[in-house]
Structure 1
Amino acid sequence: MIRKILGESKAVKDLLKMISRVAASKTNLLVIGESGTGKELVARMIHDSGPLKDKPFVPVNCGAIPETLIESEMFGHRRGSFTGAVNEKMGLFETANGGTLFLDEVGELPLGIQVKLLRAIQERVFRKVGGNDDIHVDLRIIAATNRDLEAAVAAGKFREDLYYRLNVILIKTPALRERDGDVELLANHFLRRFGDRFAKKFDEMPPEVIRALNCYEWPGNVRELENVMERAVTLASGQTISIDSFPAMIQNALTRAEPMFQASASAGPDSKLEELRIALPNFGEGPVNLDLILADIEKTYLLRALSYSGGVKRKAAELLGITFRSIRYRLAKLGVETGDADD
């Protein structure tokens, strides 16, 4: 059974289309994205969806191997090639022969091993530590990182030739905050999974909980959401998941966002709102989400101007002291549907 990325957002649908397009080839791939966005899952989906699905899939966390052992781990070693090499060892490249080698956190590799890795990736040929014979392999390379490799190249911390050798096709895993509507879908998925695991049955999540989950930024992405839902299921009593079952950071996200959501909700075409009240931050309860607060203020003003102008964007832009191009950009950025009343 192929594990799949769950989601109905445009970002996930675009990602799934890219996976289906590249699965049949052996082209080198570079998967980038924040921690917790599912980079290894993407690599596994590519492997399992293509002609190599019955061949080995060998993942390796490049940042978890001590620098003195990386070459031996990657390429293997001959018996007696160094102190402690009492037996001959097969490396990861040889283990993955015929299948896929997944180089996770490739940006953590020291420069010394990058030179040897470049030859192995470019020629599909390497030598074991202490060996003199070339070993040829036929495999697909998928690398992943949460680092900015272009910046690392500019800083001299990552070889430019290796970067371009890996980055034949670039795939970006979207952050959870970029996946509109997927938080609720994933939360319900994890609620069912952990409910089954712990033999608990729950009603639908209350609107307050869903609103809180949507307000939170999820810096740890899907991995963090999964952990939060496991915690909530573990602590929940009865058949209802309450907001009290969630960490303070989730509860605080709801507390901080509610005043702005109320203001935005009352700023529609028939609004009589004459002032916008914003609660001052209480940093003792944790950090605020400034981007969310400012986006809500901006959205409120845009909707107010559009209401006054009868939906005519050019007039609304004049009321706000911005250009027509700017108001179109801002409305699109905030996901505000306005129809075609441009003039």
Structure 2
Amino acid sequence: MADIGGVITEPAAQEVVDPERGRRTRLAREGSARLVIGLALLLIQLLVTYDSVAWLQVILALGGIYGLLTGVGQLIRAVFGSRVDPTVWISMAWLFILVLFVFLQVGGLFDSLDADFQDRERPPSFTTDEPLGTDRLGKSVMNQSIRGARISLIVGLGAVGIGLAVGSVIGLAAGYFRGPIEGTFNIITDAVLAFPALILLFSIVAIFGGSVLVITLALSVLSIPTIGRLSRANTLTFAAREFVTAAKSMGASNGRILFREIMPNVALPLASYAFIIVAVLIVAETSLAFLGVGIDPISTPTWGNMIQEGRDPNLLEKAPHIVFVPGVMMFLTVLSLNRVGESLRSLWDPREAKL
């Protein structure tokens, strides 16, 4: 009851005096409700409807994940305020957890990939030693998914690292010196970007094999033109700024201007876009593995290999977790990298964020 005879009761008066507190209280209640609903949907999918049709399990699992993410997001805003973007915090938390498990596996935990034919296609159960179940050979789906994360991060970060080392320098030179250097750069990048990416990757893998090193180098070939163009565009902007003109008037060499004046300003936008490019390359590596031309699935399990293994309709009906677990992990990783990259781009390039 908010108003009796023109007199405002105490709860309503408190909400008028402190509307932010009331808003945070509502967010906390809604977030808690969504969190509970999300957990309930996931538990129903795992414990009740696991043996039912695949589409029902997918709907329940996606609804549960959506409830968890939105619930946690509203709780974060209730605690830290509306200016905080909860999706960025959740994304950074997921990437931290993923990297943590990768390092734990490197240290000897979660590294068992032995087959157990007596324990094949076990469904997920958090009360056993295999919380995410086993595949058709009896191997741990969780351990394989962590190994797949390890491979995806190595390939994505390695390819982007090579692209940054080569593409940024070439783009700097093309944007600063212009003339024939820029013309040659534009022709080469246009030719590489115009060539179908999958056909180029297929050709490289067919010639040199499907090792982690070859896949990384092949994807770096695709990242160099994109990063080079970003570097050139930012160099054109900063090369016309006053501090570069002042450095030229003081007799600074071209090398000093490029690497002491322009590169530090170009590095920040490139770093923000690097997260987005890593996400794209992870999807590309997974696509290659799914099509059967990626990394050898016998020696090195990857997310794409796991999804490709479980695409059999009969297996998908009996053990959907074989596909669902690596698929969800890849989805969350790619989404998190994109959100972090967009946040950094807004932070380091506020003018472009307003477009």
For Structure 1 versus Structure 2, the TM-score category normalised by the shorter chain is: under 0.3
TM-score, structure 2 normalization: 0.26
Q: Which has the higher strand share?
A: 1
| Structure ranking higher on relative contact order (CA contacts 8 Å, 6+ apart) | 2
| Larger helix percent | 2
